[in-house]
Amino acid sequence: MSGRVNDDFIKKKEGDITSGPPSGRHPSGRLPYIHKVGKPPKQNLFKEITTTVKETFFSDDPLRSFKDQPKSKQFVLGVEAIFPIFNWARGYNLTKFRGDLIAGLTIASLCIPQDIGYAKLANLPAQNGLYSSFVPPLVYAFMGSSRDIAIGPVAVVSLLLGDLLQNEIDPKNVVPYQRLAFTATFFAGVTQLALGFFRLGFLIDFLSHAAIVGFMGGAAITIALQQLKGLLGIKTSQFTKKTDIVHVLHSVSHTAHHGWNWQTIVIGVSFLAFLLLAKYIGKRNKKYFWVPAIAPMISVIVSTFCVYITRADKDGVAIVSHIKKGINPPSAGDLFLTGEYLGKAFRIGVVAGIIALTEAIAIGRTFAAMKDYKIDGNKEMVALGSMNIIGSLTSCYVATGSFSRSAVNYMAGCHTAVSNIVMAGVVFLTLELITPLFKYTPNAILASIIIAAVVGLLDFEAAILLWKIDKFDFVACMGAFFGVVFASVEIGLLIAVALSFAKILLQVTRPRTALLGKISRTNVYRNIQQYPDAKQIPGILIVRVDSAIYFSNANYIKERILRWLDDEEERIEEHGLPKIQHLIVEMSPVTDIDTSGIHALEELYRSLQKKEIQLALANPGTIVLEKLYEAKYSDLIGDSNIFLSVSDAVLMYAPKTSNIEEP
């Protein structure tokens, strides 16, 4: 603290310290005043803890709307908090229903062929994919807070689930494999529900955007490679169960002479070209968004009709053969809640649940921002978890928000989650009436639909932007990408998580510091690397610390400041400049400090004392200053060496050489 503790403002003149007006300059215009740093009031420990807990877990103040409300109103608000449909349904009208109806029918035409293909990607019967677009969307429509997200199976989660499940049980053992899938779905839902209920949604933010871009891109390549089996007509027994590019391409080349079917290739490649063309048309002109939306269903109808009338299945064209008719049968009794598969199902469910949750939250936030409304992340997790728990009891596997379907839902003009109800209604009719018609649907068309769908997961623009902005982010992106492509989905996910945490640790343990200089004709001090014209003050070294000071980085910050000092002393000796007598640490970016940080500052002070250099702190925040006073650090360096700003410290130490100019 500069000057006497009770003075509001002080100035330096021949060693005399007197109070003055808060103008920053004496009325005569000769001598400047230095503002005093206020000692913060001591905080109540209980209040500080409750404030921290509230900001961490209840920053949205979920009970705010319940305050000062009668019991009946609180009950209604409680029901609406769990089931948002009872809130927005009061303002629902025919105009909104018209938009939701069109959107629901549009995404239904897209989801039905995709669901059949994604179920095969998870090594499950085709009907399980349709089941997962019937019950989960209905549950979400009542409990979800997003207006635009379309619920159902997605490619990445289907691939991940299939890859993890087949490592435990051979998909040929249909019943135990399905039981393990349902159990994993149950634990995926429990994980999502627990994260939302205990308000731990911030944990999924530890998976960085860069890692997700790389993981999704790698998954897209892997999914497309897996579809070569259906696209080329290779028999399942001749195709590898591994997902990495090396084994897949080896299987493809090994079967080139005797395992491919030319009729299948013609069907697959022709319709893939049609689907990609439809996608291109929809991307070029937003008015034709419905073209890529209905293209998969058109492809299924046309290809199924062609196979049926030509009986191409007798010439080796693989077909779906049979989709079980009827809506979701109960599966609560099929869950592995005891035995050796319980732990395995839990591990698979946690991984799949977090990936599904990350994708859904990202999609929900994206479209909420586009329509300028808010979604509650914790409510979303509870809704997604509830729908997957209920889904696991009704023969569904992990469902989440689909970006492609959500985009179509948004462009089709949906207003509320009723579009999901409409979609579920169409799937219901399909399961009850239409499934026998899919008997002659060729597997090649499903492969084409999946390949066309996952093309959008390859975000080249995002990867290029990562390279331009942050090289470490790009490394994290590529690490996750190559991990998925050359190892497995599980390894790629592990690399994505590891690199995300590595970046956090690197930023925490090795924070940035900067040398500051004075911008000409101002009282502003900035990084001399960013502003080469900024002038350093003779005899004074000014260093800024751009991070909280904790046990993880305290020693590094102390040593980095001393290295700055050593480098400057070498430069000064070479150029014959005045010796450094004062070191000012700009602490405005330091949001917090712990005992290790204070201990490091004490060591820094003692090291500088041996060099006969005075340490000063500029603009420490309330929390930091309070802890420094509690630790008696202010007594160590002296109140007069804690300043409101860098300019005040410079005025105190070198009023003549600083030559403060009016802007």
Give the chain's domain count: 2
- The answer for residues whose C-beta is within 8 angstroms of residue 256's C-beta and 6 or more apart is none
Give 19's pLDDT tier (boundaries 50, 70, 90). very low
Mean pLDDT of 133-141: 97
Give 17's pLDDT tier (boundaries 50, 70, 90). very low
Give 44's pLDDT tier (boundaries 50, 70, 90). low
Residue 181 confidence (pLDDT): 98
Residue 45 confidence (pLDDT): 61
- Encoding tokens for residue 223? 């999914």
List beta partners, residue 654: none
Mean pLDDT of 347-357: 94
* Confidence check: pLDDT of 167 > 50: yes
Beta strand pairing status for 582-586 and 540-545? Answer: parallel
Report yes or no on 51 lying in a domain: no
> CB of 296 within 8 A of CB of 114?
yes
Residue 77 confidence (pLDDT): 81
- Encoding tokens for residue 48? 């500080």
Region of poorest pLDDT, from 171-180, 236-245, 456-465 = 236-245
* Confidence check: pLDDT of 4 > 50: no
| Domain boundary pick from 452, 473, 502 | 502
Give the separation between CA 601 and CA 579, rounded to whole angstroms.
22
Mean pLDDT of 235-258: 88
| Domain boundary pick from 471, 502, 533 | 502
- 346: domain range? 85-318+332-502
Report yes or no on 21 lying in a domain: no
For residues 516 and 495, state if they share a domain. Answer: no
> CB of 627 within 8 A of CB of 14?
no
Give 662's pLDDT tier (boundaries 50, 70, 90). very low
Report yes or no on 497 lying in a domain: yes
For residues 248 and 157, state if they share a domain. Answer: yes
Give the separation between CA 29 and CA 627, rounded to whole angstroms.
37
Region of poorest pLDDT, from 245-259, 577-591, 599-613 = 245-259
Residue 11 confidence (pLDDT): 40
CATH of the domain at 534: 3.30.750.24
Residue 54 confidence (pLDDT): 58
For residues 372 and 478, state if they share a domain. Answer: yes
- The answer for residues whose C-beta is within 8 angstroms of residue 74's C-beta and 6 or more apart is 66
Give 47's pLDDT tier (boundaries 50, 70, 90). low
- Encoding tokens for residue 659? 């030559």
Give the E-state strand segments of 588-632 in sequence order.
Answer: 614-618
Residue 29 confidence (pLDDT): 47
For residues 436 and 584, state if they share a domain. Answer: no
Report yes or no on 38 lying in a domain: no
Report yes or no on 56 lying in a domain: no
* Confidence check: pLDDT of 552 > 90: yes
| Domain boundary pick from 447, 479, 502 | 502
Mean pLDDT of 75-103: 91
Report yes or no on 76 lying in a domain: no
Region of poorest pLDDT, from 322-326, 495-499, 548-552, 584-588 = 495-499
Report yes or no on 157 lying in a domain: yes
Report yes or no on 250 lying in a domain: yes
Give 621-635 pLDDT, tens digit per residue.
Answer: 988 999 999 999 989
Residue 99 confidence (pLDDT): 95
Give the separation between CA 365 and CA 201, rounded to whole angstroms.
13
Give 203's pLDDT tier (boundaries 50, 70, 90). confident
* Confidence check: pLDDT of 651 > 80: yes
Give, for 513, the enclosing helix (H) or strand (E).
Answer: strand 513-518
Give 656's pLDDT tier (boundaries 50, 70, 90). low
Give 536-548 pLDDT, tens digit per residue.
Answer: 999 999 999 999 9
